[in-house]
Homo-oligomer: A and B are copies of this chain.
């Protein structure tokens, strides 16, 4: 039941045709880029966080993406309310545990969020994923990329406990769900020099989860599209500034041929 380039492109075309409304409660740093990436892929982004209106917004959305990059109590209240509405509607919920493990506040908050709502996909780097299990409580910021065996074990445990797909982003992305695992080797190291591309990946997971109800495959498709657009953008870029721009252009124009020529995925 491996997915191939044609299926990935088909999902992309479905996003472009349906322009699903993706409700993001995300951090200040990346809001603009996340919105632009969702627009470039063909989705319709909305960024609304206040507890006064998140339920109404989530009620209209096709997916909810929660990202804890710049937490504060009022935003956390909004996240919980949006989450409850999303779960009650059974729309996909993507959780990005930015910086989990860096402070007790964010580690506690993200664990509570994951326990309160049924996530569809959790996407983070290795140290963030490990922080979700309680095995580790410290991480140096948000850019650790090593996908160690320990992280892999954590991802499997979380996947089983919460019945969701877990994606460990890194040089190779590992996406696990109970008994299945997919590896995506697309991407380029320069992508780590652009802030928020991880957050963008989580948002794209939201778009793919709307058109593919298999969480593992939706996450894998999103990571492939991210990685290929990033790789292709790096080829045209003198540095991270132009990479950020070219990434959006390429995402917007991504063709079936681009995907089939660059795909590096295995199950």
Assess whether B252 is in contact with A193, with CB atoms less than 8 Å apart: yes
By a CB distance below 8 angstroms, the chain B residues around A70 are 47-50
Give the distance in Å from the alpha carbon of A194 to the alpha carbon of B38 in the complex: 10
Q: Would you call A30 an interface residue if the criterion is a C-beta within 8 Å of the partner chain's C-beta atoms?
A: yes
By a CB distance below 8 angstroms, the chain B residues around A241 are 36, 40, 244-249, 252
Assess whether B141 is in contact with A46, with CB atoms less than 8 Å apart: yes
By a CB distance below 8 angstroms, the chain B residues around A103 are 48, 53, 56-57
The stretch of A71-79, A158-166, A216-224 in contact with B is A71-79
Per-position 1/0 for A17-36, Cβ under 8 A of B? 00001000001111111011
The bracket for how many chain A residues form the interface is: 35 or more
Given contacts A56-B104, A104-B56, A105-B53, contact A238 B249 (CB under 8 A): yes
Within 8 A of B (CB), among A40-68: 40, 44-50, 52-53, 56-57, 60
Per-position 1/0 for A175-197, Cβ under 8 A of B? 00000000000000000111110
Assess whether B39 is in contact with A240, with CB atoms less than 8 Å apart: yes
A33 CB, min distance to chain B CBs, angstroms: 7
Q: Would you call A69 an interface residue if the criterion is a C-beta within 8 Å of the partner chain's C-beta atoms?
A: yes
By a CB distance below 8 angstroms, the chain B residues around A74 are 72
Per-position 1/0 for A245-262, Cβ under 8 A of B? 111111111000000000
Assess whether A39 is in contact with B72, with CB atoms less than 8 Å apart: no
By a CB distance below 8 angstroms, the chain B residues around A253 are 238-239
Give the distance in Å from the alpha carbon of A253 to the alpha carbon of B56 in the complex: 43
A200 CB, min distance to chain B CBs, angstroms: 12
By a CB distance below 8 angstroms, the chain B residues around A239 are 40, 248-253
Given contacts A30-B32, A32-B29, A105-B56, contact A242 B240 (CB under 8 A): no
Residue of B nearest to A58 (CB): B103
Q: Would you call A263 an interface residue if the criterion is a C-beta within 8 Å of the partner chain's C-beta atoms?
A: no
A141 CB, min distance to chain B CBs, angstroms: 5
Give the distance in Å from the alpha carbon of A32 to the alpha carbon of B26 in the complex: 13
A4 CB, min distance to chain B CBs, angstroms: 26
Assess whether B52 is in contact with A73, with CB atoms less than 8 Å apart: yes
A221 CB, min distance to chain B CBs, angstroms: 20
Assess whether A69 is in contact with B47, with CB atoms less than 8 Å apart: yes
Residue in B21, B71, B247 whose beta carbon sits within 8 Å of that of A140 in the complex: B21
Given contacts A30-B32, A140-B60, contact A194 B39 (CB under 8 A): yes
By a CB distance below 8 angstroms, the chain B residues around A49 are 70, 72
Given contacts A32-B33, A39-B194, A195-B35, contact A46 B248 (CB under 8 A): no
Q: Would you call A142 an interface residue if the criterion is a C-beta within 8 Å of the partner chain's C-beta atoms?
A: yes
